[in-house]
Structure 1
């Protein structure tokens, strides 16, 4: 899954298990998730892994969404084929495959040196079990199948059996290539370790060159520099090159591509730096192809919708600090604000508390919408559009809470009617925005590592707001008050109802509206943090930092202003501020890094 969850939660736990157990647990769990209804959507939701169309590759007549693949050593038992195909890889390597199952390999994880040692590199299920596994759990990306070193006859048999599942084959340079070439029309890559091995085969007998990631009985991978020199050595053949191994950070993959590799497999980097590595590499490649900032049609309508939310928040804040009630509220109650104050000053202050809290969240949400529209949607960032319209849709839907509490607020209705056209126009105009994203992160720097924690804090904060909004919305249309509210009011619900039977509905309207606003704000914060964290994206840091201030200031400040200072009641808000501050501090150096120019 994404970097923030892998490095913060899963990697520390998995690295306490044996390598084999950790590998099986991870791959089997992810594969089961993919097989569930909407399971692949869950992976996409959390990881947003799909690569930009700008980086697709065409190799020997086969199109891949990305030039980045995953080594067959990551999943020799084919336990996670469908899951791996959802992580942003352009293709999946399988094998090497032999006729009979190969014995289990011993795996040694060298954590300090970030290397993986194997007793041998030929563990596999055997051809029949491989066919069964690929038939049951076929990946939806191209498949590169490596054939184990055996006799020519056995290799021909393997190829014929596996041909329905293979987009390319890899065979050893020491075998009878002409005989293999005659046995299949599927492109054949020949595995070579140096120019001498390449010189021993005829160019017309193969379609591409495969540079292996390691050697038998040797711990670790070829050094990256060695792999780059190998690429330069075999490049004069003019054939496509697949370079396997040695990639631990996006810059490693770019170095191999710059040297002449057409496809790049990752292996140990995937284990040590997580399933987010292919996404980071894809975004680094896409960064090179990014065009000048666009003025995406429809962005300004989205911006104006956000401005409408912001403006309504300021108006609601002014009302909450002054009159508290509007004319439609007084007509609904059949009472003036002076009569309410005469009945209970605490009740009047409590209504002010609800409305100011709502206003603060609206100001924060409006600011987040505006920033997403200007810095994200305007320049064609598909993820920003997705965040905007998911949150805004939920915001509009909370209008229907009135069914639960029975008060159709005409001001709320007018507000929705005014901003809805901007929402619809922006949604329609941006509906064909291309998928994929780009980023400039190249290195596993200290700032990048710290940002994983900061990103996690923001995601938890957004999730906390989302959960709180759901709870408050539910309370708003059911019980309306919590124990601490009644303690401040010094009234029981039946006393309020007996004084005016419309009171509860009006307060429920405010409570449910506040809960609905929190849901939208929580989605905004959570998804901006989940999908928008990229090195040098200063606007993300400013958006989350500035956007949090109005909500916190209003939500906590109004409690002290009216004297509703129950520390148990305020504890969740204090915890939210802690998450916010940790997110701001730990993400600063990564997000505020100066951007480099595309190479």
Structure 2
């Protein structure tokens, strides 16, 4: 999961601001975002564990908490920490040590809090002054409170095995491990079961688990993409295409010698993106949803929530493609079943963080994959808008050696036909981009080799056909292909950096 202390950014910020000021800046940014409802939900999905097991609930200084895991900070950090912690998965904030001189600072920090706030008071005057404003008081001699300075997730999880023990992280933990530390501790302390096997499910579809349905959607998307590629490399146009256009392939070629190749390049890139989505959904189903990762279900849900509605682009383009519609109608009920079925029992196995240099390189790789996914989403949105409006970009018209008016003069349905392919590709690219971005943001854990291979296969399926088809048809404009080359470079570099971390042996 993303780490706000990842080395290159932290080093750059420290060089400009100083180490302590850089840490405070990051903390205040988290506090600013987390104090808003939408921002809190975003951070919670990225860093937090929103549903910790009941066995981790308890109390601190007589105050009930949903998870016996929190942070202990000095008064100078209290205001920002109280606002930053709720979406990160912490259950309590301790401010210590506090003297009479810190009373006003703690009062201000306690106002509007959404987490229990306890105080380690150094004198009776401070305790009397703060009693109406805080939830309780702690002492250094309480054996149930274990304050930790190191980022060892396993050690913290082991402490939580004691039913009354409470783990309070010092600020140094966030500096070394990042705010995702709380979620990793909760995951390590969550009871898990053995992974299910296929024969345990049975043959009745009504009893199939969510990950089966998600897997079927992934395999269906892969099959549909491969089928679309075979059609494009073979007849190019099916009967309904010819009926809609009122033209044969030879007539299209006679109208413009580059037009058939242009249609092929659009459809091959679309087919490759469909296979990439299939690979992403298959990986999420088998590696994530099957093993009870709640974030994997959300990645699958958000990606599909963007992809399936793009079917209605036909309301703008005017061309309804029967196979596209049939594929969506068949897969959508499976998609819904995959989302609506009850979450699975946690079945993950966590690996230790391993060597620090390995983790740092993996975090750089994670950043590159997130940037790639975000760039693909922007590209998909732009392609969708272009496909639904102007249809062609300048490099397209240069390759074709014509203009939209000339094409419309040949056949009034020709431009809407191209628009359907172009806009559909943009919608599919956005769907894939969401899955890539969120899988990279939420699934980055040592030993989760399926994350590496899912992203690698999806990248190969999406990028390679696009490069090959452009080369084959000699549409090699550097401006047009620059985003593809940049995506390949970023993805390849990111995966190479992260491979030792993601593919490490769990034992």
> What is the TM-score when the length of structure 2 is the normalising length?
0.90
Task: Return the alpha-carbon distance in structure 2 between the equivalents of residues 51 and 450 of structure 1.
Answer: 30
Task: Return the alpha-carbon distance in structure 1 between the equivalents of residues 99 and 76 of structure 2.
Answer: 15
Pairwise CA distance, 1:133: 3.1
Pairwise CA distance, 1:259: 9.3
Task: Return the alpha-carbon distance in structure 2 between the equivalents of residues 54 and 571 of structure 1.
Answer: 51
The corresponding residue for 2:314 is 402
CA contact (8 A) 2:56 2:160 kept: no
Structure 2 CA distance for partners of 1:577 and 1:48, relative to 1, 3 Å = farther
CA contact (8 A) 1:317 1:356 kept: yes
Structure 2 CA distance for partners of 1:374 and 1:435, relative to 1, 3 Å = closer
The corresponding residue for 1:169 is 137
Structure 2 CA distance for partners of 1:375 and 1:53, relative to 1, 3 Å = same
Structure 2 CA distance for partners of 1:81 and 1:589, relative to 1, 3 Å = same
CA contact (8 A) 1:282 1:438 kept: no
Task: Provide structure 2 residue ranges, at least 5 long, that are not aligned to the other structure.
Answer: 202-207
May I ask how many residue pairs the two structures share in their alignment?
A: 495
Pairwise CA distance, 1:445: 2.8
1:91-127 superposed Cα distances (whole Å, 9 cap, x missing partner): 111233333x3xxxxxxxxxxxxxxxxxxxxxxxx32
SS of 1:487's equivalent in the other structure is helix
The corresponding residue for 1:133 is 109
The corresponding residue for 1:191 is 140
Pairwise CA distance, 1:455: 1.2
Higher relative contact order (CA 8 A, sep 6+): 2
Q: Which moved more, 1:345-354 or 1:323-332?
A: 323-332
* Correspondence 1:418 to 2:320: no
SS of 1:79's equivalent in the other structure is helix
Pairwise CA distance, 1:502: 0.6
CA contact (8 A) 2:79 2:108 kept: no
Task: Return the alpha-carbon distance in structure 1 between the equivalents of residues 158 and 47 of structure 2.
Answer: 25
CA contact (8 A) 1:4 1:455 kept: no
* Correspondence 1:12 to 2:19: no
Match runs of 1:492-531 below 5 Å = 492-531=403-442
Match runs of 1:422-441 below 5 Å = 422-430=334-342, 432=343, 439-441=350-352
Task: Return the alpha-carbon distance in structure 2 between the equivalents of residues 54 and 7 of structure 1.
Answer: 35
Structure 2 CA distance for partners of 1:532 and 1:416, relative to 1, 3 Å = same
Task: Return the alpha-carbon distance in structure 2 between the equivalents of residues 6 and 371 of structure 1.
Answer: 26
Pairwise CA distance, 1:443: 4.5
Which of residues 370, 390, 403 in structure 1 aligns to 2:282? 370
The corresponding residue for 1:292 is 194
Task: Return the alpha-carbon distance in structure 1 between the equivalents of residues 5 and 260 of structure 2.
Answer: 45
The corresponding residue for 1:479 is 390
CA contact (8 A) 2:47 2:89 kept: no
1:479-508 superposed Cα distances (whole Å, 9 cap, x missing partner): 111111111101111100111011110000
Task: Return the alpha-carbon distance in structure 2 between the equivalents of residues 304 and 461 of structure 1.
Answer: 27
Which of residues 123, 138, 146 in structure 2 aligns to 1:243? 146
1:254-303 superposed Cα distances (whole Å, 9 cap, x missing partner): 465579981222221212332222223222333xx211224672221221
Pairwise CA distance, 1:51: 5.8
Structure 2 CA distance for partners of 1:462 and 1:14, relative to 1, 3 Å = same
1:438-483 superposed Cα distances (whole Å, 9 cap, x missing partner): 7333455322221101111111111111111011111100111111
Structure 2 CA distance for partners of 1:49 and 1:436, relative to 1, 3 Å = farther
1:324-372 superposed Cα distances (whole Å, 9 cap, x missing partner): 1121111111111121111112011100110011001101111211121
Structure 2 CA distance for partners of 1:156 and 1:63, relative to 1, 3 Å = closer
* Correspondence 1:393 to 2:305: yes
Structure 2 CA distance for partners of 1:346 and 1:254, relative to 1, 3 Å = same
Which of residues 448, 459, 464 in structure 2 aligns to 1:548? 459
Give the structure with the larger helix fraction.
2
SS of 1:191's equivalent in the other structure is coil
SS of 2:392's equivalent in the other structure is coil
CA contact (8 A) 1:382 1:437 kept: no
CA contact (8 A) 1:249 1:277 kept: no
Tell which structure's C-alpha radius of gyration is larger.
1
Task: Return the alpha-carbon distance in structure 2 between the equivalents of residues 5 and 357 of structure 1.
Answer: 37
The corresponding residue for 1:561 is 472
Q: Which moved more, 1:435-444 or 1:30-39?
A: 435-444
Task: Return the alpha-carbon distance in structure 2 between the equivalents of residues 414 and 259 of structure 1.
Answer: 55
Match runs of 1:307-456 below 5 Å = 307-430=219-342, 432=343, 439-443=350-354, 445-456=356-367
Structure 2 CA distance for partners of 1:436 and 1:539, relative to 1, 3 Å = closer
* Correspondence 1:88 to 2:89: yes
Q: Which moved more, 1:15-24 or 1:27-36?
A: 15-24
Pairwise CA distance, 1:20: 5.3
Task: Return the alpha-carbon distance in structure 2 between the equivalents of residues 163 and 15 of structure 1.
Answer: 42
Please provide the CA RMSD for this pair: 2.6
Structure 2 CA distance for partners of 1:304 and 1:93, relative to 1, 3 Å = same
1:371-420 superposed Cα distances (whole Å, 9 cap, x missing partner): 21122212222111111111112110111112222222222211111111
SS of 1:78's equivalent in the other structure is helix
Pairwise CA distance, 1:63: 4.0
Pairwise CA distance, 1:82: 1.6
The corresponding residue for 1:273 is 177
Pairwise CA distance, 1:144: 2.1
Task: Return the alpha-carbon distance in structure 1 between the equivalents of residues 279 and 36 of structure 2.
Answer: 37
CA contact (8 A) 2:75 2:106 kept: no
CA contact (8 A) 1:465 1:522 kept: yes
